[in-house]
Amino acid sequence: MSTLGLILLSTFVISLMSFIGVFTLSFNEKLMRRVVLGLVALSAGALMGGAFLHLIPEAIEMTGNSVKGVLMYVLVGFVFFLFIEKVLHWRHCHKGHCDVHTFAHMSLFGDVVHNFIDGLIIAASFVANMGLGVVTTIAVALHEIPQEIGDFGVLLHGGYKKRKALFLNFVTGLTAIVGGIVGYFLSQSVESTLSFLLPFAAGGFIYIAASDLIPEIRNTDSIRRGLLYFIVFVVGLLMMYFVSG
C-alpha cells in the first residue's frame, strides 16, 4: 500500500473511534469511571513513550543530530497545545462558567482542531517511515478512546440525542483524514516540514500526557487503585518500547 493509502486508512480508523462512546451506555457510572481512568493511564504511557522513544529520536536523526533544534520544536509543540487548550476554554468560559449547550459546542470545535492536528502528525510520521507511522497511530488511537467516550458524554449532557451525538462525533472525527491529506502533501512539497512536525508532535504528546492525563490518574483516593493505574501507565510505556524494538 502507498504512503498516502496508509495515511488515509490510519486516519479513517481514528475517525471510527468516535463511535466508541455508544458501547459505554450500559455501564454504570462507577464502572465507567474506572474503565476510563484505566484507558487514560494506558494512553498517557503510550503518548509519553511515543514522544521520547520514537518521535524525538527520529527527528534528531533526521536533522543530523541537531538536538538543540529538535528540543526547541518540542517546546514549541508543548506551548502550542497549552495555548490551544486555554483559548478553547477561555473563548466560551471567560466569565467563569459555561452553560451546558455552549460547552457541548466548544467540545465539538475542540475535536475538529485536535483531530486535524492528529491527522497532520500521523501523516508526517508515515512520510518519515512506516514504523513511526504505525507507532504514532497506536498512540493517537489509545488517546482517542477515553477522549471520545468523554466527548460523547458531553454531547448527551448538552441535550443531543444519541444518534445525533454519534453523528456529530463522527463528522468531527473525519477532520483527521483532512489533516492527514494536508500533512502528506505538505511533507512532500516542503522538505523542512518533517523536521518540524515530528518534534512538534512530540511536544504535543508530552503536554497531553503530563497536563491532561496524568493528573486524572494521580487524583485517586485509593492507594491500590492508584498503584494499578501506575502499572497500566508503565504498560503503555513498555508497549511503545517493544514496538520500537
Positive or negative, the Cα torsion across 19, 232, 129, 124?
positive
The stretch 59-83 carries a mean pLDDT of: 90
Element (H, E) at 47: helix 29-50
For 207-236, the pLDDT digits (tens) are 989 988 898 888 777 888 889 999 999 999
pLDDT band at 19 (very low <50, low <70, confident <90, very high): confident
Q: Where are the domains of the chain?
A: 40-91+110-139+176-244
For 121-176, the pLDDT digits (tens) are 999 999 988 999 999 999 999 888 887 877 777 777 677 888 888 888 899 989 99
Which three three-digit cell numbers place residue 38? 484505566
The stretch 18-22 carries a mean pLDDT of: 79
Q: d(Cα 142, Cα 128) in Å, to the nearest integer?
A: 21
Which three three-digit cell numbers place residue 61? 536523526
Cα angle value 30/35/40 (rounded, 5°): 125
Positive or negative, the Cα torsion across 80, 149, 12, 135?
positive
The stretch 25-35 carries a mean pLDDT of: 71
For 234-243, the pLDDT digits (tens) are 999 999 988 8
